[in-house]
């Protein structure tokens, strides 16, 4: 049994009185320190971007700090909730997410920005439901694969039940429209199904169907075709202006950058310098060497997620394992797409850089996911201590 030792006030806040054998040594300090460092770095970069954009005002930084405090509060709540709670109630969170995705189309609730309905406004706060859906799909599919393991692995109908849920979720996101988040939902969901042991032939069939569908969707919207044309020939296409500015910023920074706050491109050129193209500002101000170092940091964070997934599986904690792998894939996709867009590797898509970009919805999602990872690690250590 765990020994009864006196806890500090901070330990009681994080772990609760009933888990007296636990301390901060029982969480994954690598994940915590990386996330904490990225958030601090994000504050610095948001401040650097915001000053020239707002005529010397710190409004954007203050807003970003407010969102961080809200995200911290949410992550603390998640940390105090047992993992079994998410496994038992994953269907309810999925239904809430589907409802919120539907609310974006309602007058006075849905918020339209640049022709897209991706936000809902409640009590003066704006929130992007597609971010909540990323969380909900991870816990729902992980839970389903455990509850219906034999059914989804051996029965075609059992396999298509989660596929239907995934398709419905993606359809609602596409109607906003938001092709980038739809791609993320698709890849994360099927990654979890693959890791859980779904038949490869079924996965390949759905994957190619999804690939053909997404290619078809590109050619059904003129603005998407223009983005593709701009991506293929950014220097001679009027629709690739932001990509040209991004590439110019990276080139201007060279190896060691022009210094914090000295970016020229962010001053009225990059319209999304604080979100989609923040990596371009980072490399301009701190250099390509630092940009490569940042990629290395993100890679190690993703590696730790996968490492925790393997550890959970070794301890027969299948739900925690699938969730950890799903979170790792999600973070990897966000990093790959955001940086890929900034360097011209991918067509322009509105995907933020985790922990760094300005934006409350994704920031809250990332804080909650990191908290969920820490809870998984904590429960593994707690169960091991009880069994000793």
Cis peptide before 341 (omega within 30 of 0): no
Domain residues for 152?
Answer: 83-214
Question: What span, in angstroms and rounded, lies between the C-alpha atoms of 112 and 102?
Answer: 14
Give 109-132 pLDDT, tens digit per residue: 777 666 667 778 766 677 888 899
Question: What span, in angstroms and rounded, lies between the C-alpha atoms of 187 and 179?
Answer: 12
Q: What is the pLDDT of residue 128?
A: 87
Alpha helices in 175-316 (DSSP H): 179-196, 200-218, 222-232, 241-253, 278-314
189 close to 141: Cβ distance less than 8 angstroms: yes
Q: What is the pLDDT of residue 98?
A: 93
Residue 25 lies in a domain: no
Nearest to 45 by CA among 205, 257, 304: 257
Q: Quick one: pLDDT band at residue 2, thresholds 50, 70, 90?
A: very low
The terminus-to-terminus CA distance of the chain in angstroms comes to 7
Question: What span, in angstroms and rounded, lies between the C-alpha atoms of 87 and 96?
Answer: 15
Residue, of 188 and 233, whose pLDDT is higher: 188
Length of the chain: 388
Question: What span, in angstroms and rounded, lies between the C-alpha atoms of 133 and 138?
Answer: 8
Residue 228 lies in a domain: no
Question: What span, in angstroms and rounded, lies between the C-alpha atoms of 323 and 78?
Answer: 14
Q: What is the pLDDT of residue 37?
A: 95
For tokens 């589907």, the residue is 98
Q: Quick one: pLDDT band at residue 179, thresholds 50, 70, 90?
A: confident
Question: Is 274 a residue whose pLDDT tops 70?
Answer: yes
The continuous run of DSSP H or E covering 386 comes out as: helix 360-387
Residue 350 lies in a domain: no
Question: What span, in angstroms and rounded, lies between the C-alpha atoms of 383 and 379?
Answer: 6
Residue, of 54 and 8, whose pLDDT is higher: 8
Residue, of 246 and 271, whose pLDDT is higher: 246
110: phi then psi, degrees, rounded to nearest 5:
-70, 145
356 close to 175: Cβ distance less than 8 angstroms: no
Residue 201 lies in a domain: yes
Number of H-type helices and E-type strands within the chain: 15, 3
Average the pLDDT over 181-204 and give the result: 89
Q: Quick one: pLDDT band at residue 368, thresholds 50, 70, 90?
A: very high
Residue 174 lies in a domain: yes
81 close to 375: Cβ distance less than 8 angstroms: yes
Q: What is the pLDDT of residue 339?
A: 93
Q: Which of 93-97, 180-184, 257-261 has the highest mean pLDDT?
A: 93-97
Residue 204 lies in a domain: yes
Nearest to 270 by CA among 48, 11, 75: 48
Residue 112 lies in a domain: yes
Q: What is the pLDDT of residue 156?
A: 76
What's the total number of domains in the chain?
1
205 close to 190: Cβ distance less than 8 angstroms: no
Question: Is 369 a residue whose pLDDT tops 90?
Answer: yes
Give 143-178 pLDDT, tens digit per residue: 999 888 777 777 777 788 888 999 999 999 888 878
Question: Is 1 a residue whose pLDDT tops 70?
Answer: no
Residue 41 lies in a domain: no
């Amino acid at each position: 049994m765990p020994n009864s030792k006196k806890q500090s006030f901070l330990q009681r806040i994080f772990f609760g009185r009933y888990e007296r054998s636990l301390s901060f040594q029982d969480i994954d300090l690598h994940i915590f320190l990386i996330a904490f460092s990225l958030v601090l770095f994000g504050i610095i970069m948001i401040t650097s971007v915001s000053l020239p954009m707002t005529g010397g005002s710190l409004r954007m930084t203050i807003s970003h700090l407010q969102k961080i405090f809200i995200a911290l509060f949410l992550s603390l709540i998640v940390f105090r909730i047992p993992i079994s709670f998410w496994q038992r109630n994953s269907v309810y969170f999925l239904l809430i997410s589907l409802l919120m995705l539907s609310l974006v189309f309602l007058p006075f609730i849905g918020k339209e920005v640049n022709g897209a309905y991706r936000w809902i406004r409640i009590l003066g706060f704006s929130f992007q439901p597609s971010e909540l859906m990323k969380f909900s799909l991870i816990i729902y599919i992980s839970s389903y694969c455990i509850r219906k393991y034999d059914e989804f692995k051996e029965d075609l109908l059992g396999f298509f039940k989660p596929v239907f849920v995934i398709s419905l979720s993606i359809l609602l996101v596409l109607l906003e429209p938001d092709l980038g988040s739809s791609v993320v939902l698709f890849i994360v969901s099927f990654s979890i199904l693959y890791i859980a042991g779904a038949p490869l032939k079924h996965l390949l069939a759905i994957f190619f169907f999804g690939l053909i569908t997404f290619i078809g969707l590109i050619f059904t919207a003129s603005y998407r075709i223009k983005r593709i044309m701009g991506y293929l020939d950014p220097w001679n296409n009027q629709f690739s202006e932001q990509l040209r500015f991004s590439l110019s910023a990276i080139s201007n920074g060279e190896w060691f950058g022009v210094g914090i706050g000295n970016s020229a491109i962010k001053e009225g050129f990059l319209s999304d310098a604080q979100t989609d193209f923040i990596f371009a500002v980072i490399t301009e101000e701190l250099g390509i060497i630092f940009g490569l170092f940042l990629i290395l940091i993100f890679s190690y964070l993703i590696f730790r997620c996968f490492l925790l997934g393997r550890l959970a599986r070794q301890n027969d904690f299948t739900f925690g394992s699938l969730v950890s792998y799903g979170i790792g894939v999600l973070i990897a996709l966000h990093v790959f797409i955001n940086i890929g867009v900034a360097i011209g590797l991918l067509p322009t898509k509105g995907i933020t850089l985790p922990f760094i970009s300005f934006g409350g919805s994704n920031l809250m999602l990332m804080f909650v996911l990191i908290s969920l990872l820490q809870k998984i690690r904590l429960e593994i250590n707690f169960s091991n201590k009880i069994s000793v």
